[in-house]
């Protein structure tokens, strides 16, 4: 992990990799993130940057790798998946978050974009299945409940 992290840094900074921050643009060059539709959200969620530039320290990088490893528990994975899908960082998945989530999964192209009616029906189905307290949003415990019933998650 340290070797991969340090390789993202310019040569002159590699000897100080423990104290360096890798810019988001470099993190996005990782093979595992290149084709991920949530790549920007992943960087945002795992970054501890105080400037909001989504750069990563070595610890941030390790956290990201550990959550995506096969040995991470489903509780940890679902917690971070929830945070990644919570586009406005308000602690709930509302209709806007769900619409962005669907758009990330289906692609932004005209040929793959859902119609307004299809999007509304899909969001309604998601909420009917997941929104246990019927408040119009999905909170972390509701999300984890749905995920626990999905062995493929």
Q: Are residues 83 and 139 in the same domain?
A: yes
Please tell me the distance from the alpha carbon of residue 138 to that of residue 97, in angstroms, as a whole number: 10
Residue 108, pLDDT above cutoff 90: no
Distance in angstroms (rounded) separating the CA atoms of residues 147 and 134 = 18
For residues 97 and 86, is the Cβ–Cβ distance under 8 A? Answer: yes
Q: Given this model, what pLDDT does residue 113 score? A: 83
pLDDT tens digits, one per residue of 114-145: 999 999 999 999 999 999 999 999 999 999 99
146 has a pLDDT exceeding 80: yes
Contact 60, 103 (CB under 8 A): no
- The region of weakest confidence among 22-36, 39-53, 109-123 is 109-123
Instruction: Determine the pLDDT at residue 151.
Output: 75
Task: With residue 148 as reference, give the H or E element that holds it.
Answer: helix 140-148
The pLDDT of residue 19: 94
Last residue of a domain, one of 68, 96, 123: 68
Same domain, 60 and 87: no
Residue 63: domain span: 1-68
Domain harbouring 60, CATH code: 1.10.238.10
Q: Are residues 32 and 88 in the same domain?
A: no
For the whole model, what pTM was predicted?
0.91
43 and 85 in a single domain? The answer is no
Same domain assignment for residues 25 and 82 = no
Number of compact structural domains in the chain: 2
Neighbours of 32 (CB within 10 A): 11
| Helix 140-148 / helix 74-85 crossing angle, nearest 10 deg | 130
Q: Domain boundary residue among 41, 68, 95?
A: 68
Q: Which region holds residue 10: left if phi is over 0, alpha if psi is between -120 and 50, else beta?
A: beta
Q: Say whether pLDDT at 55 is over 80.
A: yes
Give the residue from 45, 68, 91 where a domain finishes.
68
| Tokens 């070797």 belong to residue | 3
pLDDT given for residue 107 in this prediction: 80
Task: Return d(Cα 147, Cα 153) in angstroms, integer.
Answer: 6
């Amino acid at each position: 992990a340290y070797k991969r992290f340090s390789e993202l840094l310019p040569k002159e900074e590699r000897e100080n990799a423990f104290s360096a921050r890798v810019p988001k643009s470099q993190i996005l060059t990782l093979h595992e993130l290149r084709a991920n539709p949530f790549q920007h959200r992943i960087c945002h969620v795992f970054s501890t940057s105080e400037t909001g530039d989504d750069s990563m320290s070595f610890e941030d990088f390790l956290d990201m790798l550990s959550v995506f490893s096969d040995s991470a528990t489903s509780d940890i994975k679902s917690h971070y998946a929830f945070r990644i899908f919570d586009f406005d960082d308000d602690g709930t998945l509302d209709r806007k978050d769900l619409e962005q989530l669907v758009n990330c999964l289906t692609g932004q192209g005209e040929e793959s974009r859902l119609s307004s009616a299809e999007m509304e029906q899909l969001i309604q189905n998601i909420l009917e299945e997941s929104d246990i307290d019927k408040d119009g949003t999905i909170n972390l415990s509701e999300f984890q409940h749905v995920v626990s019933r999905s062995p493929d998650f």
